[in-house]
Amino acid sequence: MFSQLQSFPDEIIRNIYEYIPYQVLTWLSKTYYDKYHATTIQRHIKKTGKKLDTYFRHIIRLDNYVALRDMLYNSQIIKGVKIHNHKIKYKNKKYANILDFLLYLSIDNDKPYTKCKNILIEYVKK
């Protein structure tokens, strides 16, 4: 299917992309991910009323280390959260900050999320 789409003229492809919501475009390429990821997440949080830590839990469960690395190092979202002072309560435990919470999630589960854990350890060391 994708190879057939590439055979279309560029003008038609641009017209098709105009009708694709940016929430979908976010996951199609790194360029779109960089451009739309922060907006997509902010709208999702606003729309669902969920907190940012819920989104981080989702990232850890999927072991999506690319999204986690982007959120920690590059994203405008994480800059809006005071990462070292944002206290979290999860399953009757309190975590001093979001990094402690994420490390707990990446280590203490049925399946170890090693890629995310390694990204978090690297981030903490810096």
Please write the tens of the pLDDT for every residue from 22-35: 778 777 777 887 77
Q: Of 73-82, 96-105, 109-118, which one has max mean pLDDT? A: 96-105
> What secondary structure does DSSP assign to 79-115, as a single string?
HHS-TTT--EEETTEEESSHHHHHHHHHHSSSS--HH
* Average confidence (pLDDT) over 62-89: 68
- Mean pLDDT check: name the lowest of 15-19, 27-31, 46-50, 99-103: 46-50
CA–CA separation, 18 vs 28, rounded Å? 14
**So where are the chain's domains?**
51-125
pTM of the model: 0.60
pLDDT of residue 37 exceeding 80:
no
- Residue 68 is predicted with a pLDDT of 81
